[in-house]
């Protein structure tokens, strides 16, 4: 059981070596730089972007960043190798928000200002369903075969014709090791007296309720509406009884460091950063009853021009090179979707080769589950119930 | 080539009208249209059609009356608190600050140099478990060991009071500063003591500032959602949070629009009643 117990031993062994490379301040610098980029690039191109450019909208702090040069090393290399200019925007902050921003243009077929976007699985499913993406030209993305078997055929894109995973995200329990010396493996551990009023759960419905449902013995690949509403009631009760302090996005990390939260349902990559920056004060584990895994997907919007599409494909193909993927993974610490990256990691950061955060073992993977895709009706109804439970 | 005189005023007004039309009238009309739409049967998430479903309004209000009530209670509390804090402050700046007057005024406005969001997040740190306030109050036994300050209604009201304080202080200052000190001296000459002079002279003369300040605080406070989102908990959400979640999370545009209209209408009614009561003639 010891090896399965937690993901932390690997993490701990590399705490110190990691801090300099990843520093969150560097990330903040990246945000600033991206903001500037966005300010320059946003309005200039109304469909007439030049033929050697690719515009990529991604989540913040989600690409290797060098704080000294203020550049993204892998992206720089891509530009030198291909002669293309990559414009990188860290402005994908929220799936719904981003969708709200570009939906009207997608509908009208007007340029949305991106050739590559990075929505999460369920949102990717919506884009594909609505016909807002373009299928890859297989000849342009030969590295596509490198995708992990477990990610190769999601229900929304069974042949991965128009999407490829950027990073995988595990959700599980995170905790303050001083307040929870025995760690947290079950919902009962989470709702233990010392955490009362200091529990924060994720705003990402499929992660928070996925973990609650799994703990209730429900198979989330087949969850029914009754089961779902049952879990929502459970959460609402924990909120009204004063156990759960807040339902938050990435901000739960601040609550953990400020001491306002002592236990959370959180994401592996964040918890890794917290653990490494606070010398083991925090830890993360996949619940005994199972955790959730989801992915963010590289896709080409239907509004990208022929050149934009071709350049986007070159970009996606480049990031599916095991060497490049390993370099990104060493920085972001989310689950790497590319076969061969683990071997390549040997040359980049040997201490990360066995990191369960980046390369979950088969044993770990078998405990991660994917929330089933929802119909548009369910999506609205379930989201509404989830929002109501959190007071909205 | 001189223009006929009649047209000049209209030409000068045109940019203003064009701006208002594009950025106020059109969005309001669009919002009104959206508020009575219903989902297209079999349509995808976020697809709605116009069916003039005015029942959206009733449904939206009934579902969220708690958050509505909370918005107005919080806004009232923070307006009163801001008034209590700002009045002595504005009074001191207007009458007692001497050569420091300009510096003090700059200090009142200084918070605006930093982003509203950052300042609110800073409050989270200050009131947080490892800030200085909570351990301080605990060691003085003012709050129990289990009591926390963030994620409470207290933190939300405190944050709103702080954030809207300059909007209260500046109009108060403007009307206090305009009071002729000789009127107060005259009250003294007529044997009024300090309290009576304040009650009968200073207070009534500063009333326009009070009305303007309370309006400038109450209206944005009632629609605020940032403070509740950052400093509050699921049990202290305001109607602004509901609108945000309906729009962005549930992708239920009609309900979000109906709630926005209901909020606007409620504020309008309350403000009208308030102004009727205190009178508008003396307003700035």
Residues of B within 8 A of A203 (CB-CB) are 249
B67–A376 C-beta distance less than 8 A: no
pLDDT band at A40 (very low <50, low <70, confident <90, very high): very low
Q: Give the C-alpha separation, B270 to B234, whole Å.
A: 27
Which of B39, B46, B74, B115 is the mutation pick for testing A, counting most A CBs within 10 A? Answer: B46
Range of the domain at B258: 64-278
Note whether residue B104 is domain-resident.
Answer: yes
For residue B39, give both structure tokens.
């989902």
3-state secondary structure of A16: helix
Assess if residue B118 is contained within a domain.
Answer: yes
Chain B contact for A32 (CB, 8 A cutoff): no
B19 lies in some domain? no
Q: Is A94 on the interface with B (CB under 8 A)?
A: yes
Q: How is residue B34 written in tokens?
A: 């959206």
Residue B84: inside a domain, yes or no? yes
Question: B277: which 2 tokens?
Answer: 């009561």
pLDDT band for A44, please (50, 70, 90 cuts).
very low
Please choose, from the candidates A155, A154, A176, A175, the residue with its C-alpha nearest in 3D space to the C-alpha of residue A165: A154
Q: Model confidence at B43, in pLDDT bands (50, 70, 90)?
A: confident
Confidence of residue A33 (pLDDT cuts 50, 70, 90): very low
The pLDDT of residue B147: 81
Cβ neighbours of A389 in B, within 8 Å: 234
Could you tell me the pTM of the whole model? 0.80
pLDDT of B77 reads 97
What count of CB pairs under 8 Å joins A to B?
Answer: 83
User: Does residue A227 register a pLDDT over 50?
Assistant: yes
Give tens-digit pLDDT for A61-115.
889 988 888 899 999 999 999 999 999 998 888 888 898 889 889 989 999 999 9
Report chain A residues whose CB lies below 8 A from the CB of B247.
Answer: 100
Question: pLDDT of A193-217, one tens digit each?
Answer: 999 999 999 989 999 999 999 999 9
**B174-216 per-position pLDDT tens digit:** 999 999 989 999 999 999 898 999 999 999 999 999 999 999 9
Assess if residue B21 is contained within a domain.
Answer: no
Q: Is B31 part of any domain?
A: no
Q: How many distinct structural domains can be found in chain B?
A: 1
> Of A282, A275, A285, A274, which is closest to residue A356 (Cα–Cα)?
A285
B75: domain CATH number is 1.10.3720.10
- Say if B50 falls within a structural domain: no
Q: A-chain residues within 8 Å CB-CB of B129?
A: 258-260
Is any Cβ of chain B less than 8 angstroms from the Cβ of A248?
no
Q: Is the pLDDT of residue A380 over 60?
A: yes
pLDDT given for residue A72 in this prediction: 94
Going by DSSP bridges, is the β-strand pair A368-369/A199-202 parallel, antiparallel, or unpaired?
unpaired
Tell me what percent of the residues of chain A surpass a pLDDT of 90.
Answer: 63
Structural domains of chain A, with CATH: 20-168+294-351 (3.40.190.10), 169-293+368-389 (3.40.190.10)
Q: CB contact, 8 Å: B27 with chain A?
A: no
pLDDT (0 to 100) of residue A282: 94
Count Cβ atoms within 10 A of the Cβ of residue A139 and give its class: 0-12 exposed, 13-18 middle, 19 or more buried.
exposed
Measured between CB atoms, which of B130, B146, B234 is closest to A391?
A: B234
B151 touches chain A (CB under 8 A): yes
Pairing assessment for the beta strands A85-89 and A53-57 based on DSSP bridges: parallel
Which member of B131, B237, B249 has the closest CB to residue A96? B249
In a domain, B103, yes or no: yes
Q: Which of B235, B242, B250 sits opposite A383 (nearest CB)?
A: B250
């Amino acid at each position: 059981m010891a090896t399965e117990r937690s993901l932390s031993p690997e993490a701990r062994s590399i705490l110190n070596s990691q801090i300099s490379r990843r520093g969150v301040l560097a990330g903040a610098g990246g945000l600033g730089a991206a903001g500037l980029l966005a300010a320059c690039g946003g309005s200039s191109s109304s469909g007439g972007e030049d033929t050697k450019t690719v515009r990529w909208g991604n989540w913040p702090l989600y690409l290797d960043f060098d704080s000294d040069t203020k550049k993204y090393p892998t992206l720089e290399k891509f530009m030198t190798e291909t002669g293309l200019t990559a414009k990188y925007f860290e402005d994908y902050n929220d799936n719904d928000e981003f969708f709200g921003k570009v939906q009207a243009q997608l509908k009208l077929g007007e340029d949305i200002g991106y050739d590559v976007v990075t929505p999460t699985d369920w949102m990717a499913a919506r884009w594909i369903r609505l016909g807002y993406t373009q299928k890859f030209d297989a000849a342009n993305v030969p590295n596509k075969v490198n995708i992990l078997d477990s990610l190769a055929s999601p229900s929304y894109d069974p042949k991965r014709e128009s999407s490829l995973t950027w990073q995988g995200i595990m959700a599980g329990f995170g905790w303050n090791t001083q307040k929870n010396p025995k760690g947290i493996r079950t919902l009962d551990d989470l709702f233990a007296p010392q955490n009362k009023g200091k529990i924060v759960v994720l705003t990402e419905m499929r992660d928070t309720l996925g973990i609650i449902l799994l703990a209730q013995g429900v198979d989330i690949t087949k969850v029914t509406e009754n089961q779902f509403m049952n879990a929502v009631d459970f959460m609402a009760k924990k909120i009204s009884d004063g156990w759960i302090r807040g339902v938050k996005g990435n901000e739960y990390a601040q609550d953990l460091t400020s001491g306002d939260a002592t236990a959370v349902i959180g994401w592996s990559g964040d918890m890794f950063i917290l653990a490494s920056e606070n010398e083991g004060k925090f830890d993360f584990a996949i619940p005994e009853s199972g955790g959730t895994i989801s992915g963010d997907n590289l896709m080409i919007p239907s509004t990208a021009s022929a050149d934009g599409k071709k350049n986007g494909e070159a970009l996606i193909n480049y990031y599916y090179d095991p060497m490049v993927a390993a370099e990104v993974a060493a920085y972001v610490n989310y689950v790497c979707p590319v076969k061969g990256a683990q071997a390549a990691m040997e040359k980049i950061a040997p201490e990360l080769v066995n990191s369960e955060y980046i390369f979950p073992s088969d044993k770990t993977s078998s405990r991660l589950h994917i929330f089933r895709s929802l119909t548009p009706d369910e999506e609205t109804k379930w989201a509404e119930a989830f929002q109501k439970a959190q007071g909205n | 080539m001189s223009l006929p005189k009649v047209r000049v005023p209209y030409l000068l007004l045109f940019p203003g009208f064009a701006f208002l039309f594009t950025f106020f009238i059109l969005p309001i009309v669009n919002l009104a249209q959206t508020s009575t739409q219903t989902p297209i049967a079999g349509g995808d998430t976020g697809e709605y059609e116009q069916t003039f479903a005015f029942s959206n309004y009733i449904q939206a209000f009934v579902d969220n009356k708690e958050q509505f009530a909370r918005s107005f209670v919080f806004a009232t509390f923070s307006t009163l608190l801001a008034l209590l804090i700002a009045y002595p402050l504005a009074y001191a700046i207007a009458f007692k600050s001497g050569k420091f007057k300009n510096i003090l005024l700059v200090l009142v406005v200084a918070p605006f140099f930093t982003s509203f969001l950052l300042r609110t997040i800073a409050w989270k740190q200050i009131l947080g478990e490892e800030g200085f306030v909570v351990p301080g109050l605990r060691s003085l036994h003012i709050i129990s060991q289990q009591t926390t300050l963030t994620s409470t209604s207290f933190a939300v009201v405190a944050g709103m009071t702080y954030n809207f304080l300059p909007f209260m202080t500046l109009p108060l200052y403007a009307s206090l500063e305009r009071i002729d000190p000789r009127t107060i001296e005259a009250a003294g000459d007529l044997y009024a003591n300090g309290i009576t002079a304040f009650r009968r002279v200073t207070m009534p003369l500063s009333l326009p500032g009070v009305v303007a300040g309370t309006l400038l605080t109450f209206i944005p406070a009632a629609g605020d959602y940032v403070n509740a989102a950052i400093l509050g908990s699921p049990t202290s959400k305001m109607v602004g949070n509901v609108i945000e979640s309906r729009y962005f999370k549930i992708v239920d545009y009609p309900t979000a629009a109906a709630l926005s209209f209901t909020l606007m209408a409620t504020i309008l009614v309350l403000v009208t009643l308030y102004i009727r009561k205190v009178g508008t003639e003396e307003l700035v």
